[in-house]
Structure 1
């Protein structure tokens, strides 16, 4: 039955019931209207309106649930679908909304996958150019500075040595940036080694102390899943340094029921009510690529805790 006829019949039922009570009941209306008759009519009208409101609320409750679902849906946070309830057009509307969400999430995941693949390819290209072009150029500059310093007067050598150190530091920084753009350790030595290298790099170049906890019996993971885990860990530790004012962080990779868990927790000021930036949105998009669940919230005590649960079927991917 359509929504129009359901509402029409609900109202008609109430009106017919009121008309029947007036026709068959002992109530009569005088001219002028007596106080008792006015009170009886007012009570009957109130009862009729109450019954009509109750029936409409029951009939339209599925639409209210659908409205709440529409206002809270976030494609980066897939959640439960509204339950298909009601009759006729209402049930069809909820089913159509759920189908639309499935399609939008699939399209968002596909487009995010293409965008992130292009991003990784661009990172590899930039890292290669930094290593091959700028890195080699600075290496040549260092060699030339050494040759000039060996032949320069003794009073100029300290200054030339200072320029050499500055150039060497710039070369190291470029190599570090290239490694962050393209984690070669991940491709060559695997996920655990790359996470250890990431933690060591953070400890060397920042004031952040990183404690590492890695299970030894992790299931086999494909390259895409390992890259997602690495990038989420990298972004979590970077946020701890840049935004949380943290001094200590924990990086954990462990086996969990149905998959693996990556945990990044710090002792900083916490995320609070701050809006999610591009980094967190990027983590959510990466999580969707492998069907993972990302939860970001306060850490026990203080700070921020990032948890990424990656499902693994049949002990491996």
Structure 2
């Protein structure tokens, strides 16, 4: 009996040591997991900030180009038309028509680069102008629908939502080969949903998995879907695709948005007025 006494005395000590070691390992693993989660959060935040900075720089460049088109190229074309009709020089109606077409095209590009309607009247009117700009004689029928009041948003959110709608519509016009396109805007407090749908040729949604994730660097021409994902990511939203070859396409962008404070320009516009 006396031989087992030291062993009995050591057993609680060994048990405490084992429990202490287990507690230390568990605490260490939890600390490592917490550090990994914090690092992942920091990386995600840094990526979001880089995306936002890249899109802000892109908008600044759009404004610069729009101003140069309006003030530079537009002025040159106007002077060219004055010289065309200078005294003693025979008029050329064909040349005049070409200059008028060039002026109209410069103005159109300038408006697309820097949507004045969005700044002056808000998102609702800008979306209506965007859809009405599609030519009906040789393009699909484009319809705009609204569910819920669309009040004024803070300017960065208005611009981002407008660019997302513009990207959705541009992609559809370029690739869908559709006869009908519907852009639907649904709003609830703090949330705006843009739903694009068409009856075009559709595509294989699984091909989207091969696209690289949104990044802060500029994308090559033809990467509209990546630009779309980047803009939605900056707003912290979600993007859902529903499409099959020959069955049309539906794209849903769910976007957290912030209204302008009370007392600001908070007029409510109807998209169908």
The reply to whether TM is greater than 0.5 is yes
| 1:119 corresponds to | 58
Deviation at 1:310, TM superposition (A): 1.8
Judge conservation of contact 1:131–1:175 (CA < 8 Å) in 2. yes
Cα deviation for residue 163 of structure 1 reads 1.6
Contact 2:232 / 2:239 at 8 angstroms: preserved in 1? yes
Instruction: Report SS of the residue matched to 1:218.
Output: coil
Residues 147-162 of structure 1 correspond to what in structure 2 (within 5 A)?
Answer: 147=86, 151-152=89-90, 160-162=92-94
Distance in 1 (CA, whole Å) between partners of 2:31 and 2:203 is: 40
The answer to whether the 8 Å contact 1:128/1:178 transfers is: yes
Note the residue ranges of structure 2 that are not aligned, 5 or more in a row: 1-24, 212-221, 262-273
The question of whether the paired residues in 2 share the 8 Å contact of 1:192 and 1:214 is answered with no
Q: Which residue of 2 aligns with 1:203?
A: 135
Q: Secondary structure at the match of 1:260?
A: strand
Q: Is the 8 A contact 1:218 1:255 kept in 2?
A: yes
Q: Please, which of 248, 261, 271 is the counterpart of residue 303 of structure 1? A: 248
* C-alpha RMSD of the superposition: 2.8
- Which runs of structure 2 are paired with 1:1-317 in the superposition (5 Å)? 87=26, 91-147=30-86, 151-152=89-90, 160-203=92-135, 207-215=139-147, 217-256=149-188, 258-272=190-204, 273=207, 275-276=210-211, 278-298=223-243, 302-312=247-257
Question: Of the two structures, which has the highest relative contact order with CA contacts closer than 8 Å and spacing of 6 or more?
Answer: 2
Aligned length in residues = 224
Separation in 2, partners of 1:96, 1:271: 41
Q: Matches of 2:142 and 2:153 in 1, distance apart?
A: 24
8 Å contact from structure 2 (residues 122, 152) kept in 1 = no
Larger fraction in helix? 1
The farther-off stretch of 160-169 and 213-222 is: 213-222
C-alpha distance 201-104 of structure 1, shift in aligned 2 (>3 A): same
List gaps (5 residues or longer) in structure 1: 1-85
Q: Tell me if structure 2 keeps the 8 A contact 1:203–1:210.
A: no
1:103–1:173: structure 2 CA closer, same or farther, 3 Å change rule? same
Change (3 A) 1:185 1:204: farther
| TM-score when normalising by structure 2 | 0.72
User: What displacement does 1:316 show?
Assistant: 6.2
Residue 246 of structure 1 and its aligned partner are, at CA, apart by: 2.3
Alpha-carbon distance, 1:147 to partner: 4.0
Distance, in Å, in 2 between the alignment partners of 1:185 and 1:204 is 21
CA distance in 2, matches of 1:231, 1:312: 14
CA distance in 2, matches of 1:271, 1:225: 30
| Equivalent-residue separation in structure 1 for 2:137 and 2:54 (angstroms) | 30
User: Matched residues in 2 for 1:183 and 1:232: separation?
Assistant: 14
